[in-house]
Structure 1
Amino acid sequence: MYDVYTKRNDKKKYIIAGAAIVGVIAIAAAFFLLKGDSKESTLKDYYAAIKEKKYDEMYNMISEQSQKVYSKDEFIKRNQNIYEGIEASDIELTIDSSEDDTIQYKVKMKTLAGEISFDNQTKIKDGKIFWDDSFVFPSLEKTDKVRISEDDASRGRILDRNGKVIAHMGEAYSVGLVRGKLNGESDYEKLASLLDLTKEGIQKTMSASWIKDDSFVPLKTISKSDTNLENSLLKIPGVKLTTTTVRSYPYGEATSHLVGYMQKVTAEDLEKHKGEGYDENSYIGRSGIEAAYEKELKGQDGVSIYIVDSQGNKKTALASHDKKDGQDITLTIDIQLQNNLYQSFKKDKSASVAMNPTNGEILALVSTPTFNSNDFILGLSSTKWDSLNNDTNKPLLNRFKEAWVPGSTMKPLTAAIGLNTQSLNASEDFNAQMKWQKDSSWGSYFVTTLHAPKPNNLKNALIYSDNVYFAKAALKIGKDNLVKGYKAMKIGDEIPFELSLKKSQYTSKDFSEDIQIADSGYGQGQILMNPVQMASIYGAFVNDGKMMTPHIAKSTETKVWAEAFSKAVADEIKNALIGVISDSQGTAHSFYHNGMTLAGKTGTGEIKASQDDTTGQEVGWFTVMTTDAKNPIVISSMVEDVKGRGGSNYVVNRMKQPFDSYIK
C-alpha cells in the first residue's frame, strides 16, 4: 500500500508541478499581451478624454518630462482653446502599428471648417505619453498658434411675387463712445435718454478692462432714417456713429407677423443648433418666414482653420470651406395688397387672408395690431418690450394663426354639406320664423334671427343670412353627415402650411347635443375657424369644389388639399353668394361693384356666456371672391370687437379700398 500510495502521491506532485508551469506560462503570456496593448489603451484613453473635455485627466496621462515643459494650466488652456475653438467632434482614432515605445496612428475629426485628418506618431512608456504640441497636429510647434478666419455669408432676401424686397441686409448706425473724447460721465444721463438705455448700463459697459482711450465702444444700433436722433447724438462729445450691416424690413409693421423677426442667439439656440455655424454673436430667425426658412436664408459662412508661426505667418492649412450666401426666398405675397390691407385694418384687432383660389397662393397675410420687426434687430428696450407685452390689444398675438368663431360665414359650408350629402333640398321652404326651437326639451333656449325671408329656401337664407333656417338645416342634415362634411373640408385636421396655424374645429369634445348641432349650422356652438382655412374653403366655391393647399413660398408645389364638394354644389352655393352682394337685400350689398360679378358672405360670431348675455363680444367677418377666372382672388377678413361698430358691415367697409386697389 505504501508503494501504491507513494506512486499516487508522486503522480499528484507531477500533475501539480505541470499545472504550475502551465500557469506561469499563461501568466507570462498574459503579461506580455497586456504589456503589448498598454500603449494602445493609453492612447485610446487619452483621446476619449479629449472627447469628454477632461483636460485634467489628459495632463495626468503625459510623461513627467512633458509636464516639466508644460505646466498644468498652460497645457489645459492650450488644448481647450484648440479643440473647443475649432469645435472638434466625432474624433476617430485608428492604430496603425506599435513597436517598442513608439505607436503610429491616424486621427480624423469634424470641425467647424470641415473634416481634419492626419497621420501621427508618439512615444508612450510606462503608460505615459511623451507629449508636445505636435501631438495635436503634426506640424504644430510650441510657439505656433491655431487660427480661425471667417468669411460671413450674406443672409438671403425675402421678396414678394414681383421681386420687391420685404427683408434684406441693410445699413444702420452703431452708436458708440470713444472714452478719450468724453466729458467724463457727465453726458451719460442725456445719452441714456436718447438711446432708451440706463445710465447704469452705460457705466457698466464703459468699465470693461479692454477699453482704451481711443477704443470705440458700441452701445446700441439705430436706424439711419432717424436724422433727428442722429443729430442729437452727434452733439454729445465722444459719441461716434459707424455704419453697420443689419437685417432690414422696408415695410415695417405691414409685414411683421408674416415675415417675423430675428434675434441674437441664446445659449439654448447654440445647443440646439450645435455644429450649424452659429456663435454667440449670431442672429437667428425667431418667427414667421425668417424662422420657417432659417436654414435656406442663413447660408453658410466660409471658415478656414490654419496654423501660424510666432510671426503670424501662415504655416499649415488644416481645413476650410468657402462661404455660401443664403438663398433668396420669393413669396406669393403681393406687397401692395399686403400693405393696403394693413393700412385699412391697422387700428383694429384683425386678421386678413388673400388667396388665389385656383392654386392656393397666398397673396396677403396680415395681423393687426402689430409691432415693427426692425425694432427687434435694433434692440428692444425693456420699456418697449413691456409695452408690447402689456398692451391689452395684444400686438404680439398673430391673429391669422388663431381660430375664431365664424358666425354666419359658416352658413355656406353647412349648405354645401347638405347638398353634397343629398340631405338638404335647396328649394325646400323651411317656413320663415324669427324665433324657433326644436321642441319644449330646449327649455328657454331659442334660435333667433334678424331676417326670415319668404320663401324660406336655401338661396334666400344665404342672401338674408337667416339663422333659424340654418339651425333647422343642420338638424335635417344630421350629425353624421355634418361630421362627414366637416372632415371633407379638413376641419379639425392640421393645416398644411409653411407657417404653423391653429387647427379649426367643429367641436371641442362631444358633438351629439341637438342645440350644439343646430347652433353649428349658423357658425356658433363650438365651431372655430382659422382664417387661412376659411379662405381655402371659400375658394372651392369658385374652383369647382376643389380646396387648394394654401402656400406662401413660390417654390412650394401647387396641390389640391381636398375635393370638398362637387362642381354642381360649388356652383349652386356660388350663385347664392353672388346674391349676397348683388341683391339689394343682401347683407354685403354695399360691396356691390357695377360690371363685376362678386360672391361673398358676411358673418358675426358671438362670444358670450349664455343666450341672455348682452355684454359678450362680437367677431365680424367678411369673405369676398371674384368669379372671373382671369383675376381670381378670395379675401377673408376677421375683426374683433365689432359690437356697436356696425358688426360685419364694419369689415365690409374696411375691405373696399384694398380690394378695389388690387382689382384695378
Structure 2
Amino acid sequence: WSQARYADMYRLLLPDDQAAYAEDAFTSAYRDFASAAKLTAVTPQVISLLVDKDQARARFRVAYSSQTVGDFERENVLTLALAANEWRVRWSPAAILPEMQPGDTVHVLYQASVRGNIYDRAGHALAAQDTYVTVGVVPALIQDERTLLATLSKVLGQPPSAIQEKYKNAARADWFMPVGDISSEQARAFYDELRVVPGVELRETLRRAYPDGALFAHVVGYLGRISEDELRTLHAKGYQSDDFIGKSGLEAWAESYLAGQRGAQLVILTKDGQVRTIAAQRPALHSRNVIVTLNTALQQAAAEALGDRQGAIVALDPRDGSVLAMVSYPAFDPNDFAAGVSATVWSALASDARKPLLNRATQAVYPAGSIFKVVTMAAALENAGFTPASTFTCTGAWSAYNRTWKCYGVHGTLDLVRGLTQSCDVVFYTLGKALYEADPNALSRMARAFGLGAPTGIDLIGEATGLVPDDAWKQRARGEPWYPGDSINLAIGQGDLLVTPLQIAALYAAIANGGTLYRPHVVAEIPAWTEGEPDIRIQPEVIGRLPVSAEHLAAIRRGLEGVTQPPYGTSWRVFQGMPVSVAGKSGTAENIYELPHSWWVGYAPADNPEIVVAAVVENVGEGSRYAAPVVRQVLEAWLRLR
C-alpha cells in the first residue's frame, strides 16, 4: 500500500472478494482516496496478529500524510483466511478507512474564508467584499420569453440575443442560469419589474469591489480566475478551478493573507450522496485585512496632476520609505475583473498600445536624463578629485576625443554646485571624462550604490530592474568595449541607462534624509483576525547607505535647493510662492521618439524633508515645463493635508 502496488495487493484477496470486487474497482477505490486526500505518504504499521487455525486478525495503524487535511491516523483490523494453503485477505472498503462501507466514496469539501479587505492609512476601503445580485433565468419557468428578454435587456444593458445565449443551452431546464450581475442598489430599483417576470430569479452574492475605480488600480491590482498553472500549485491549499485569485498589485502580493487558508473536510459519502462521516479535516484560517501607507486624498491629487498624460508619479516619505501615493496613467478599472473580465474588455486592454495594465511607476523603464546628475556629482566628488568649489567654463559646447557635445545654454564660469543647479551639461561632460580616465566603471558603481540597476524590493510583484550599463554589460550585449563617450553620455543620464520612477524616488529620498536607502513599502500593517495571533507591522528596512561623505552630500543638497531658487535655478519660476522650500531636479530625457520624457523629482521641506515626489510625463518636452508643475501640484495637496 505504501508503494501504491495495487495489483499486488489485489492478488492477495480471497477468491470470493475478487469475485465481488473487480480489480479496476479495487484499484480505483485506493486511487480515488489518494487523489481526494492528496496523499503524499501512507505508512501502515502492524500492531498485533492473532491466528486461530485457518483464520487471523491483524490490527494495524496507518499514518496518512495529506496535503488536503494534514496528517491523520487510523487504527484498523484486517481479517485473513487460508485459501489453498495461502493466507489471503478478506477485503472491503473498510480496509482503506474503517468508517467506509461498500458503495461509499471519499470526497473533499472545501470551506473558503471571506477575502480580506485592503484599507488606506486612514481606514478608507480600497478593495472590499460587496454584495451584488446575480440575475438568472430558469428556462422551465419562462412563460413570455419576449417580455423576459426585453426586461432583462433594460436592466442589464445587454442585447436580448446575448442574454438568451446564456441560458438556451442549459443542461436541465430547471437549473438557475446566471445572465448578469447588478448592484444591490440596482436590484432595489428594478425589483418590482423583475419579480413579476416568470423565469427570472435573483440571488445575492459577494464580489470584490474597488470603490475608487481606476484610482488605485496598479497598486491594489485586480482578481482573475485561477489559471491551470496556478491551480497546479495552489490546489493543495484548497483552491478550485472556478476560484478568483490576486493577479497583480497587492491583491497578488498579499494573496496568502487576503485569502486566508481554506478549510477542508475529507468526507465519506454514501452511494446516494449523503455524508456518512467526516474522516479528517483541516479548519479554515481567517483571512486578514491589509492596511497600506497610501493616502487617498494625495493619490487623488496626484492623479489629477498627471491628468490624461502617459506617465507616473511616486510620492515617498524619505524618513522610512513608505509610499504615500503611486499613480500610473493610463489605468484600468479593476471592477471590470471582479466577476471575470469580458473578452471585449480584455481584448481592448491587451491591444491598447498605451499599455494600461502596466504600472509605469514600478514596471516601466526610462532614460533618466539630468535627474541622474546627482549620481555623477557624487562619483566625481568621491572618486575623481573634484570639490564643490571646482570651477568650469561653459561656452555652450565642449570637445574631447575628436568630438563636440553641446550644452542647452551658455553658463560661463561656474562651480560644481551651481553646475548642478543650472544643470550645465558641460560641467557633467567634464566629470564623465574625468571619471572614465580614473576608472571606466566608477560611475556605474556609484549608480548601483544609489540603488539603480536592481529592484528596490517593494511589496508589489513584477518590479522592473532597470539597467546600469558598464563595460561588462556592453561586451555581453553588443560585443564592444566601453568607450569614453559612453561615460560622457552616462554622466548626463543618457546612453543605455534605464530607471523606474520608484528607483528615482528612492534615490532622492536617500539624498533627502542624509544618505539612508530605505526599501520602499506600500504595506503598513496586516492585523491579526483573532486574539493570540500577532499583528504584522512593517518596519522601515535599511537596504544601504550612500557612499558619499556628509560634506559632499550637503553640497549636492545645496545644488538641488538652488534649482527652485532665483536667479540660477532651472525651475524657480514653477516653485515661486511655495510656502515651504523645495529642493529637486529636472530631467529632459531623450528617447527613440521625437519628444523627450519630462522628469522632475524633489523633496520638501528642503531643510527637513518629509516627502519626496518623482514624476515622469512621457514624450512631451522639457522637465521644468511639464513635470515640475505636476510635482508642485502634488506638493501643494500634501501641504493642505499635512
Instruction: Note whether the superposition's TM-score is higher than 0.5.
Output: yes
- Output the CA distance in 2 between the equivalents of 1:233 and 1:396: 38
Pairing partner for 2:99 from 124, 139, 149: 139
1:651 maps to: 627
Greater Cα shift, 87-96 or 192-201: 192-201
- Output the CA distance in 2 between the equivalents of 1:567 and 1:629: 15
Pairing partner for 2:544 from 544, 562, 565: 562
Match status 1:488 vs 2:449: yes
Which deviations, in whole Å up to 9, do the C-alpha atoms of 1:501-557 show, x marking residues without a partner? 222322152572111111111111111112111111111222112222222222333
Greater radius of gyration (CA)? 1
1:84 maps to: 35
- Output the CA distance in 2 between the equivalents of 1:430 and 1:202: 77
- Decide whether aligned partners of structure 1 residues 356 and 504 sit closer, same or farther in structure 2, where only a CA change above 3 A counts: same
2:587 maps to: 603
2:534 maps to: none
1:281 maps to: 242
1:435 maps to: 397
Which deviations, in whole Å up to 9, do the C-alpha atoms of 1:554-588 show, x marking residues without a partner? 23331222221222222211111111112244222
1:3 maps to: none
- Decide whether aligned partners of structure 1 residues 228 and 385 sit closer, same or farther in structure 2, where only a CA change above 3 A counts: farther
1:588 maps to: 571
- State the secondary structure of the residue aligned to 1:569: helix
- State the secondary structure of the residue aligned to 1:337: helix
- Output the CA distance in 2 between the equivalents of 1:184 and 1:168: 38
Paired letter, 1:348: R
CA displacement at 1:227 relative to structure 2? 7.5
- Decide whether aligned partners of structure 1 residues 246 and 110 sit closer, same or farther in structure 2, where only a CA change above 3 A counts: farther
- Decide whether aligned partners of structure 1 residues 67 and 185 sit closer, same or farther in structure 2, where only a CA change above 3 A counts: farther
Pairing partner for 1:65 from 16, 19, 22: 16
- Output the CA distance in 1 between the equivalents of 2:452 and 2:488: 18
1:40 maps to: none
Match status 1:466 vs 2:466: no
- Decide whether aligned partners of structure 1 residues 377 and 595 sit closer, same or farther in structure 2, where only a CA change above 3 A counts: closer
CA displacement at 1:355 relative to structure 2? 0.8
Higher helix share: 1
CA displacement at 1:416 relative to structure 2? 2.0
Pairing partner for 1:116 from 67, 72, 82: 72
- Output the CA distance in 2 between the equivalents of 1:476 and 1:602: 24
Match status 1:399 vs 2:360: yes
Question: TM-score scaled to structure 1, two decimals?
Answer: 0.82
Quick check: 2:564–2:576 contact (8 Å CA) kept in 1? Answer: yes
The count of residues paired between Structure 1 and Structure 2 equals 601
Question: TM-score scaled to structure 2, two decimals?
Answer: 0.84
- Decide whether aligned partners of structure 1 residues 94 and 197 sit closer, same or farther in structure 2, where only a CA change above 3 A counts: farther
Match status 1:355 vs 2:316: yes
CA displacement at 1:238 relative to structure 2? 3.3
- Decide whether aligned partners of structure 1 residues 308 and 637 sit closer, same or farther in structure 2, where only a CA change above 3 A counts: same
Alignment of structure 1 residues 636-647 onto 2, 5 Å = 636-643=614-621
2:596 maps to: 618
- State the secondary structure of the residue aligned to 1:66: helix
2:532 maps to: none
CA displacement at 1:424 relative to structure 2? 1.9
Which deviations, in whole Å up to 9, do the C-alpha atoms of 1:594-653 show, x marking residues without a partner? 431110111111013xxxxxx63411111120136766000101111214xx65421222
- Output the CA distance in 2 between the equivalents of 1:534 and 1:232: 57
- Output the CA distance in 1 between the equivalents of 2:415 and 2:629: 28
Which deviations, in whole Å up to 9, do the C-alpha atoms of 1:264-322 show, x marking residues without a partner? 21221121124112112322111111111211221112333344668988654422233
CA displacement at 1:346 relative to structure 2? 4.2
1:536 maps to: 506
2:497 maps to: 527
- Decide whether aligned partners of structure 1 residues 637 and 509 sit closer, same or farther in structure 2, where only a CA change above 3 A counts: same
Alignment of structure 1 residues 124-523 onto 2, 5 Å = 124=80, 126=86, 129-142=89-102, 146=106, 148-182=108-142, 194=156, 199=161, 203=165, 206-209=168-171, 211-213=172-174, 215-224=175-184, 234=194, 238-307=199-268, 316-400=277-361, 401-421=363-383, 423-440=385-402, 442=403, 446-478=404-436, 479-499=440-460, 500-507=462-469, 508-510=473-475, 512-523=482-493
- Output the CA distance in 2 between the equivalents of 1:527 and 1:308: 63
- Output the CA distance in 2 between the equivalents of 1:232 and 1:346: 42
Paired letter, 1:155: R
1:23 maps to: none
- Output the CA distance in 2 between the equivalents of 1:562 and 1:492: 14
Structure 2 gaps of 5+ residues are 476-480, 525-536
- Output the CA distance in 1 between the equivalents of 2:166 and 2:522: 45
Alignment of structure 1 residues 88-99 onto 2, 5 Å = 88-98=39-49, 99=51
Greater Cα shift, 495-504 or 226-235: 226-235
Paired letter, 1:559: E
Higher strand share: 2
- State the secondary structure of the residue aligned to 1:398: coil
- State the secondary structure of the residue aligned to 1:582: coil
- Output the CA distance in 1 between the equivalents of 2:538 and 2:160: 47
CA displacement at 1:72 relative to structure 2? 6.4
- State the secondary structure of the residue aligned to 2:409: coil
CA displacement at 1:246 relative to structure 2? 1.4
Paired letter, 2:582: L
- Output the CA distance in 1 between the equivalents of 2:180 and 2:11: 47
Pairing partner for 1:576 from 549, 556, 559: 559
Percent sequence identity over matched residues? Answer: 25
- Output the CA distance in 2 between the equivalents of 1:79 and 1:192: 51
- Output the CA distance in 1 between the equivalents of 2:188 and 2:589: 46
- Decide whether aligned partners of structure 1 residues 236 and 435 sit closer, same or farther in structure 2, where only a CA change above 3 A counts: farther
Greater Cα shift, 509-518 or 634-643: 509-518
CA displacement at 1:184 relative to structure 2? 7.1
- Decide whether aligned partners of structure 1 residues 309 and 403 sit closer, same or farther in structure 2, where only a CA change above 3 A counts: closer
The RMSD of aligned alpha carbons is: 3.3
Which deviations, in whole Å up to 9, do the C-alpha atoms of 1:112-155 show, x marking residues without a partner? 23323111222456575432121121122236565654432122
CA displacement at 1:473 relative to structure 2? 1.7
- Output the CA distance in 2 between the equivalents of 1:48 and 1:220: 50
CA displacement at 1:181 relative to structure 2? 3.5
